[in-house]
Chains A and B, each alone.
Chain A
Amino acid sequence: MAAVTQWPIDGVPQNPEAWLLTAARRKVVDAVRRRRTSDEKHVLLQRHLDDAADGDFFGDERLRLLFVCAHPAIDAAVRTPLMLQTVLGLDAARIATALRVAPKTMGQRLWRAKTKIRSARISFDVPVEELPERAFAVLEAIYAAYGSGWEDVAGQASAPRGLTEEAIWLARLTLRLLPDEPEARGLLALMLYAEARANARRSEDGAYIPLTEQDPSRWDPHRIAEAEALLLKAARMGRVGPLQLEAAIQSAHVDAVRSGAPDDRAVSLLYETLVKMTPTLGVRVAHAVAVAKTEGPSRGLDRLDAIESTATADYQPYWSARAHLLERIGRHDDARDAYDRAIGLAEEDGVRRWLLAKKQALEATASPSGTIRKGS
């Protein structure tokens, strides 16, 4: 493996890296081939970006704006809307709806942030030593724009369609401006993987389809090919970060459904690394699901139990994962309660109905006392 690079984290075996590279490389030739036929919208967007980046001044100005929006003195919650407004010119009401915030609240938050930039004289220049951290804050804020409610636990993806296009546009811009930042590539790859599957997430009658049951022919091959190529190039830069890891996990999911041979071990390793870097609630839940696949459902449940209950009480993916694992170890009463909580917390009707069906299927196999009927 010529391009294998050192992982910055101790204790991580070479496997994920090697795996990441082969998975991405396998399709890179296809990617180049398919790129020629990429849709017109793509071409237009590219031209738009070219125009924008041609003038150095304009490009620089927007990079500065992105970095100001992600300044540590600006509340993390307002960074995303601030970028959407100052760089893309979206109005406060539209941003508010997409991020599920009251328009008046959003207006006030934006106004306060802008006042702070002015009155605290937040510098438009970024000290070199702060660059990596600030770049990550920029990328994080763009990712948040992709959909605040977007989660992907065991393929239970749901993306509000609101600002996905805008987020991808911003990620493309950032990548143009920060070509040497592998995480910028990772982010764009990650969002393209998710976006490639957007149409396959719903059946024609609107029913939710989990990742593992999706029809890969309904995925957008151009986006996947582009994502694979981005990820490969990022991996070659030799600086792994959380966004690349998340993209690599997406790549693994795509590969698993296409080939019918999921590499659970690779996914689990990637999550293990990710959970060390960014132990967010979503990552921890997803890691538990990955562990359940490689080490069995009760080990996965142990991981879920290790998360503080105050954080999980209203976190839907946690309860979906919990219900699923409880069902697998035969704790049907507990599984039913967990399904109920997940159903009660679901925002999307498709997901809600899918969970209801899962719970109904569980009740059909279990007798009222919770024991499994003979022969089922």
Chain B
Amino acid sequence: MRYAMLVYETEAGVKARNDPEYQAAYKAYIEAIYGTGVAVGGSGLQDAATTATTFRIINGERQIQDGPYPDTKEQLAGFFLIDVPDLDKALEWAARCPSTARGGIIELRPALEQPSWPRASRMEGCCRSCWSAPTILRGQRTHSPRPSWRR
């Protein structure tokens, strides 16, 4: 079952992005969630207040605004697309997310079934430090044993 794991951060959480300890914790979390084959995609997002742009059509008229939708105290700070057997397992990974220790909120949304999606490859039978999930998603079988930022 695929879930979108949406990570919302408070202002304190966004500020913590410059904290080396928080960065290291997040790096380890990302490595673990991809390394176990749980995450099949996702990304952190730049600050919503200064970089988001919202588009919609109201009464047939195009409206483009600076800023996020909805404009709230917490902002969508990143997301993972995860493939887990059930919601219990999804909650396990949500509990591990470093954002929650900084007041972050995680919303788990089961994805609509999309038969055309490639199945996520699990790391069984692969090396211990396998980071192949994203490459397999792109249809490539080869992978580097370590994520590119570590080489």
Interchain residue pairs with CB less than 8 A apart (19): A101-B87, A102-B87, A105-B87, A309-B128, A310-B124, A313-B35, A314-B36, A337-B128, A340-B32, A342-B28, A343-B28, A343-B32, A344-B30, A345-B32, A346-B96, A349-B101, A352-B98, A352-B101, A359-B24
Bound: A349/B95 CA distance, A:
10
Give the distance in Å from the alpha carbon of A352 to the alpha carbon of B29 in the complex: 10
C-alpha spacing A341/B92, complex, angstroms: 15
Determine if B49 is an interface residue (Cβ-Cβ < 8 Å): no
B31/A356 in contact, CB under 8 A: no
A interface residue numbers (CB < 8 A to B): 100-102, 105, 309-310, 313-314, 337, 339-347, 349, 352-353, 356, 359
Q: Look across to chain A and name the residue whose beta carbon is closest to the beta carbon of B24.
A: A356
B123 and A313 contact, CB distance less than 8 A: yes
Q: Which residues of A contact B101 (CB under 8 A)?
A: 349, 352
Chain B residues proximal to chain A, CB less than 8 Å: 21, 24-25, 27-33, 35-36, 38, 87-88, 91-92, 95-96, 98, 101, 123-124, 128-129
Could you say which residues of chain B place their CB within 8 Å of the CB of A356?
A: 21, 24-25, 28
Instruction: Knowing A344-B29, A352-B98, say if A101 contacts B88 (CB, 8 Å).
Output: yes
B33 to chain A, nearest CB (A): 7
Give the distance to chain A from B103, nearest Cβ to Cβ, in Å. 11
* Cα distance, A341 to B95, chains bound together (Å): 15
- B35's partner among A101, A341, A346, A359 (CB-CB below 8 A) is A341
- 15 more CB-based (< 8 A) A-B contacts, given A100-B88, A340-B27, A343-B24: A100-B92, A100-B95, A101-B87, A101-B91, A102-B88, A309-B124, A313-B35, A337-B129, A343-B29, A344-B29, A344-B96, A345-B96, A347-B96, A353-B25, A356-B25
For the complex of A and B, the 3 pairs showing the least CB-CB separation, nearest first, are: A344-B32, A343-B28, A349-B101
Task: Tell me the smallest distance from the CB of A362 to a CB of chain B, in Å.
Answer: 13
> Given the complex, which residues of B lie within 8 Å of A105, measured CB to CB?
87-88
* Distance A131 CA – B18 CA, assembled complex (angstroms): 58
Partner of A353, one of B21, B29, B87: B21
By a CB distance below 8 angstroms, the chain A residues around B25 are 343, 352-353, 356
Residue of B nearest to A352 (CB): B25
Which residues does chain A contribute within 8 Å of B27, judged by CB atoms?
A: 340
- Chain A nearest Cβ from B116, distance in angstroms: 28
A122 and B123 alpha carbons, distance in the complex (Å) = 42
Give A304 Cβ to nearest chain B Cβ, in Å. Answer: 12
How many whole Å from B87's CB to the nearest CB in chain A? 5
CB contacts (< 8 Å) of B91 on chain A: these are: 100-102
Chain B residue contacts of A342, Cβ below 8 A: 28
Q: How far is the CA of A339 from the CA of B28 in the complex (A)?
A: 9
Task: Please state if A341 and B28 are interface contacts (CB–CB under 8 Å).
Answer: yes
Contacts A313-B123, A341-B31, A356-B24 given; does A347 touch B98 at CB 8 Å = no
List the A side residues contacting B129 at CB < 8 Å.
337
Is A344 touching B124 in the complex (CB atoms < 8 A)? no
* Chain B residues in 8 Å Cβ range of A346: 96
Interchain CA distance A310-B125 in the complex, whole Å: 9
Decide yes or no: A314 and B32 within 8 Å by CB, A101-B88, A346-B96, A349-B101 being known contacts. Answer: yes
